[in-house]
């Protein structure tokens, strides 16, 4: 089977053509770097994404702290992770890189803060 | 009111201003002052919480706030003077800068001024969408600020006009927060945002993208109740009988960014009608001596990494300028191929390494883009596909350049 | 039938329905007397319909039929406008006006206008040739023109706001968000039912503009129909402003029911292009349309060639409350009547252009009717002066410095395009009428009116409104009732 993908790993956004049979990747064309090949393989087998969102902060100079995951998670789990993020509330201060949810939804990635929020 | 004399004043503490400040300090420039109107440094990056920043500059995927924090930390560790919550209200050609803050009115006189004010969004008025004026019509950047900085939810069901990157990012953001995004409508026959954002912001969430479509009417007297969308022909005129009504309570406009040029104009800086930002030479010096510009105030960038790199190149030249105003090699124009929307710089003096940034006007397949001077081809890059969403950069070392000879940026189809 | 059980809320001597420019001028004029006066307004601010959506021109009075109320009150209003503007501290500039013509046919029409104007008592009218046009406004095209030196420009919104504020300062009650739903004649006046309770008053004055026919019907006067007639406008960036020092009109086609698509400088330095003239079905359909916006651009260019699409920062529409239908065309006169069968109900219908100019004389006329029945005694504490919001950017550097020193909020520039400070925004939020909508703050402070249209400052202004009034996100309104700006928090606490 043949599939055309846009690599989302970097802003180059390479157009990849993947030839595959079931779960066996036969060839990937169009990637400017090796990450593109890995992406294509992953995308066919189990597409993964990183997501960014916000977590409620109490007692901080801002009402929210921005967060992201330390690495991509299966696409189909995105809304499970969002539910955990939405339910969370943290107290200021918050530091960049602070782990707010470890191993979120048991997916092996952490939710980390991406902004410093000082206490009021 | 006393006038304070400074070596360098940087207007704007976003990515361009921060990178310029840090690079200037590295060159040993002591007296630098950054003026920032917000309470925090970082500019628009503060609200760009999605990841994908820094792949070029830091070789890792950071969120906007993290990318900004790297530069803020550098600036703070270097002890560079920063004033926040201060708005520059006047800029004069003699490099007098007037600003106000809660603590008073300030007048500065700088040897060099760096314009780093970024850009602003085109509005509903600018594109003249007919219809009523209900609540619920937002530009993508405002929507992003409300949601990501202020914890304010702007709507529950949205239509997005324009496929600019911020609009695509907001489509995903709204979806993740439980809103329904009905579709993205783009007047051009191709998307104006990056391909990766089409994939990860729209395709991933089954949000349809309609090319050659535009919003032709806005409905509702209180809150928005819906929009009319029409298909457009090749001259962007709505095609009769293609109207379709879409019910929504929110319309997000992602219809382009324009350099913030109020202060530039006030100082008499000449603008390029194509970029809507200042005309500069390869030192990023504007038509007014000692006033420099980099980042989105100069031309709207696709990636913040390129803003930082541009500001760092600017800093090199400002550093030299402070030591001695450059022996004036005559500036000659950079001529852009008709396939290109513009080039930056627009002028060259050929007395330093040159980086030309440009964008194609429409998607092109299999092209070579080259810089020529007389019959000499200085550099060529080949593209399997070049799209307007992506900025293209070409560099030529100083040694190759001939002062006084115009440059041409040429696009050839293979 | 009105429910007699409903407890009476308020009792007044005079109740004004509608806080457009006529209702507000009347409220202020009535506050000169010892009367208990209230204004009922259905919207969240004054000046929400016709009064705030027009060219802002103070007309000299040559467009109106000699002998008409329109002509009489317009001329009086124009001559007296300077005094009122000074008292209530609003922008007004007697710019003069050109009505330009291109051929002999136009010249005849201009001559006729001049003669009508002179009959009406308009001073200073003259027919001028192209050299004078070039001299007054080099960018304006025309072979000849009627020049009217008395015509001026004002800010119609601030004018209405200032009239209402001055009225309130002098004791008038303003009830916003009180829509009149029924009126019943009782022994000593009227009972007026609103969406928020019942009012009683000896006098009721119909100043309901677009809805004046409906209000009249509530007391049984059913011989008027308002025909809404929309006019669309383009608002241009200030960059072109210096090229248009005074309003420039084409020769009007009276039958059309408007004065033709003209160009008007605003007191803030922008330019308005419009209005069009289109009868519509819905009284408050302020939608603009592609075809009309294109028409405005084409027509405007005929007398002002610098006009171009990239100069447009906004579009809007207003609706004229006309008493003549599309098929009749032209203008009817103002109706100002006090019928024997509806004693103490003063009915005013068809107050379209030049209502802005004529508002104060209209109000004085109403008072003379009331004066026939009431012993009007002067209010000794009446103060005709009201102060507007101080504009920081128009002050000298020294004054700016001392203002910031006195109040640091002057040092915080909130709206960059218009140079509006936090002190001015807060003054607008703390306005005497208690208006809290984003549009209300915009119109009072000019914030969000510039070329970025609130791109930078709207967020801060919304925050200031919420903080000042302890409001939730859901209760921030854009302009009209129900114009919710936000739906809540992203992360509710």
Name which of C284, C294, C478, C493 to mutate to probe chain B: the one with the most chain B Cβ atoms within 10 A of its Cβ: C478
Mind listing the pLDDT tens digit for each residue in B45-91?
A: 999 999 989 988 898 899 999 999 999 999 999 999 999 999 999 99
> Given this model, what pLDDT does residue C254 score?
67
Q: Does C419 touch chain B (CB under 8 A)?
A: yes
Q: Looking at the partner chain, which of B49, B56, B200 has a beta carbon nearest the beta carbon of A66?
A: B49
Distance separating alpha carbons of residues C19 and C42, to the nearest angstrom: 9
Which one, of C104, C97, C90, C80, lies nearest residue C29 by Cα? Answer: C80
Position A35 pLDDT exceeds 90: no
Residues of chain C positioned with their CB less than 8 A from the CB of B133: 286, 316, 479
Q: How many CB pairs under 8 A join B and C?
A: 143
> Given this model, what pLDDT does residue A13 score?
80
Alpha-carbon dihedral angle through residues B222, B226, B232, B235, given to the nearest 10 degrees: 20
A75 to chain B: nearest residue by CA? B204
Position A26 pLDDT exceeds 70: yes
> Given this model, what pLDDT does residue C252 score?
85
β-bridge partners, C262: C274
Q: Looking at the partner chain, which of B134, B142, B155 has a beta carbon nearest the beta carbon of C459?
A: B142
Which one, of B290, B325, B351, B323, lies nearest residue B28 by Cα? Answer: B323
CA distance B66 to chain A (A): 6
CA distance C161 to chain B (A): 21
pLDDT band at C9 (very low <50, low <70, confident <90, very high): low
Alpha-carbon dihedral angle through residues B279, B284, B287, B291, given to the nearest 10 degrees: 130
Residues of chain B positioned with their CB less than 8 A from the CB of A7: 196
Say which of C59, C178, C262, C283 is annotated catalytic. C59
> Given this model, what pLDDT does residue C5 score?
44
Mind listing the pLDDT tens digit for each residue in C191-218?
A: 999 999 999 999 999 999 999 999 999 9
Q: Does C459 touch chain A (CB under 8 A)?
A: no
pLDDT band at A4 (very low <50, low <70, confident <90, very high): confident
> Given this model, what pLDDT does residue C8 score?
55
CA angle (B152 as vertex; B148, B158 as ends), nearest 5? 90
Q: Does C12 touch chain B (CB under 8 A)?
A: no
Distance separating alpha carbons of residues C146 and C125, to the nearest angstrom: 7
pTM score, whole prediction: 0.93
The better pLDDT of the pair B335, A36 is held by B335
B199 to chain A: nearest residue by CA? A6
Interface confidence (ipTM) of the complex:
0.93
Residues of chain B positioned with their CB less than 8 A from the CB of C413: 37, 87, 89, 100
Position C6 pLDDT exceeds 60: no
Q: Does A56 touch chain C (CB under 8 A)?
A: yes
> What mean pLDDT comes out for the span C309-336?
92
Whether residue C275 is preceded by a cis peptide bond, meaning omega within 30 degrees of 0, is yes
The token pair that represents C218 in the structure block? 């509530």
Distance separating alpha carbons of residues C149 and C161, to the nearest angstrom: 27
> What mean pLDDT comes out for the span B325-339?
85
Task: Check CB contact under 8 Å for B198 and A10.
Answer: no
> Given this model, what pLDDT does residue C4 score?
45
> Given this model, what pLDDT does residue B13 score?
98
H/E element, A38: helix A34-45
Is B116 within 8 Å of B11 (Cβ atoms)? yes
Residue C59 annotated in active site: yes
> What mean pLDDT comes out for the span B265-285?
97
């Amino acid at each position: 089977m043949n599939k055309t993908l846009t690599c989302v790993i970097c802003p180059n956004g390479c157009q990849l053509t993947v030839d595959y049979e079931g779960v066996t990747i036969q060839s990937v064309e169009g990637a400017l770097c090796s990450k593109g090949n890995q992406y294509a393989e992953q995308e066919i087998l189990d597409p993964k994404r990183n997501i960014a969102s916000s977590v409620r902060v109490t007692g901080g100079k801002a009402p929210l702290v921005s967060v992201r995951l330390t690495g991509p998670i299966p696409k189909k789990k995105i809304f499970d992770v969002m539910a955990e993020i939405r339910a969370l509330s943290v107290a200021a201060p918050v530091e960049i890189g602070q782990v707010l949810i470890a191993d979120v939804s048991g997916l092996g990635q952490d939710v980390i803060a991406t902004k410093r929020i000082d206490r009021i | 009111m006393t006038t304070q004399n400074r070596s360098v004043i940087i207007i704007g503490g976003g990515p361009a201003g921060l990178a310029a400040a840090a690079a200037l300090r590295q060159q040993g420039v002591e007296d630098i002052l950054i003026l920032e109107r917000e309470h925090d440094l970082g500019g628009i990056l503060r609200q760009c919480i999605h990841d994908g920043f820094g792949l070029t500059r830091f070789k890792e995927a950071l969120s906007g706030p993290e990318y900004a924090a790297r530069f803020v930390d550098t600036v703070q560790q270097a002890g560079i003077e920063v004033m926040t919550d201060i708005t520059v209200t006047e800029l004069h050609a003699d490099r007098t800068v007037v600003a106000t803050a809660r603590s008073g009115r300030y007048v500065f006189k700088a040897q060099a001024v760096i314009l780093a004010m970024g850009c602003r969004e085109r509005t509903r008025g600018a594109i003249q969408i007919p219809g009523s004026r209900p609540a619920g019509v937002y530009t993508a950047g405002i929507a992003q600020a409300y949601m990501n900085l202020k914890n304010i939810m702007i709507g529950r069901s949205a239509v997005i006009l324009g496929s600019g990157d911020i609009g695509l990012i907001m489509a995903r953001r709204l979806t993740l927060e439980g809103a329904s995004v009905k579709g993205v409508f783009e007047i051009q026959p191709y998307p104006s945002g990056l391909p990766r954002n089409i994939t990860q912001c729209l395709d991933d969430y089954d949000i349809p993208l309609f090319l050659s479509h535009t919003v032709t009417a806005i409905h509702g007297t209180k809150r928005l109740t819906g929009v009319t969308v029409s298909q457009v022909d090749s001259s962007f005129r709505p095609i009769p009988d293609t109207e379709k009504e879409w019910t929504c309570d929110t319309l997000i406009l992602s219809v382009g960014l324009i350099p913030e040029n109020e202060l530039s104009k006030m100082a008499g800086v000449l603008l390029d009608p194509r970029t809507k930002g200042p005309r500069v030479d390869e030192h990023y010096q504007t038509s007014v001596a000692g006033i420099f510009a980099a980042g989105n105030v100069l031309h709207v960038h696709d990636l913040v990494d390129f803003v930082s790199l541009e500001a760092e190149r600017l800093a090199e030249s400002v550093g030299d300028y402070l030591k001695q105003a450059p022996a004036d090699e005559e500036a000659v124009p950079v001529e852009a191929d008709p396939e290109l929307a513009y080039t930056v710089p627009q002028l060259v003096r050929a007395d330093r390494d040159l980086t030309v940034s440009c964008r194609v006007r429409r998607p092109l397949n299999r092209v070579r883009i080259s810089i020529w001077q007389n019959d000499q081809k200085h550099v060529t890059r080949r593209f399997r596909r070049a799209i307007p969403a992506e900025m293209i950069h070409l560099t030529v070392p100083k040694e190759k350049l001939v002062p006084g000879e115009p440059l041409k940026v040429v696009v050839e189809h293979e | 039938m009105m429910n007699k059980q409903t407890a009476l809320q308020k009792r007044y001597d005079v109740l004004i329905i509608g806080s457009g420019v006529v209702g507000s001028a009347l409220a202020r004029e009535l506050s000169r007397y010892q009367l208990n006066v209230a204004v009922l307004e259905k919207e969240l601010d004054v000046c929400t319909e016709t009064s705030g959506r027009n060219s802002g021109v103070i007309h000299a009075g040559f467009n109106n039929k000699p002998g008409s109320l329109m002509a009489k009150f317009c001329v009086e209003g124009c001559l007296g406008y300077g005094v009122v503007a000074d008292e209530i501290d609003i922008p007004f500039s007697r710019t003069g006006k050109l009505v330009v013509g291109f051929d002999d046919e136009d010249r005849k029409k201009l001559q006729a206008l001049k003669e009508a104007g002179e009959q009406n008592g308009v001073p200073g009218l003259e027919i001028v040739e192209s050299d004078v046009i070039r001299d007054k406004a080099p960018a304006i095209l025309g072979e000849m023109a009627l020049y009217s030196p008395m015509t001026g420009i004002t800010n119609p919104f601030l004018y209405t706001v200032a009239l209402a504020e001055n009225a309130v300062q002098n004791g008038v009650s303003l009830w916003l968000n009180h829509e009149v739903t029924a009126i019943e004649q009782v022994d000593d006046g009227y009972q007026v039912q609103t969406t928020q309770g019942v009012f009683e008053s000896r006098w009721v004055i119909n100043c309901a503009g677009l809805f004046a026919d409906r209000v009249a019907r509530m007391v049984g006067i059913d011989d008027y129909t308002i025909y809404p007639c929309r006019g669309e406008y383009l608002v241009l960036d200030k960059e072109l402003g210096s090229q248009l020092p005074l309003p420039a009109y084409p020769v009007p086609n009276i039958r059309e029911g408007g004065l033709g698509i003209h160009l008007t400088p605003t007191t803030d330095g922008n330019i308005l292009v419009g209005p069009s003239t289109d009868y519509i079905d819905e009284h408050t359909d302020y939608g603009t349309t592609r075809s009309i916006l294109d028409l405005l651009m084409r027509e405007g260019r005929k007398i002002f060639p610098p006009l171009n699409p990239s100069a447009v920062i906004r579009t809007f529409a207003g609706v004229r409350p006309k008493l003549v239908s599309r098929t009749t065309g032209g203008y009817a006169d103002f109706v100002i009547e006090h019928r024997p069968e509806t004693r103490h109900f003063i009915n005013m219908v068809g107050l379209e252009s030049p209502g802005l100019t004529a508002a104060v004389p209209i109000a004085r006329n109403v008072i003379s009717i009331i004066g026939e029945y009431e012993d009007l005694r002067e209010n000794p504490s009446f103060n005709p002066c009201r102060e507007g919001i101080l504009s920081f950017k128009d002050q000298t550097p020294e004054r700016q410095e001392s203002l910031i020193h006195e109040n640091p909020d002057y040092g915080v520039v909130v709206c960059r395009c218009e140079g509006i400070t936090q002190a001015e925004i807060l003054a607008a939020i703390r306005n005497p009428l208690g208006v809290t909508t984003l549009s209300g703050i915009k119109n009072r402070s000019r914030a969000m009116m510039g070329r970025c249209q609130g791109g930078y400052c709207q967020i801060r202004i919304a925050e200031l409104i919420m903080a000042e009034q302890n409001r939730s996100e859901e209760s921030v309104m854009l302009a009209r009732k129900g114009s919710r700006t936000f739906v809540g928090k992203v992360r509710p606490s």
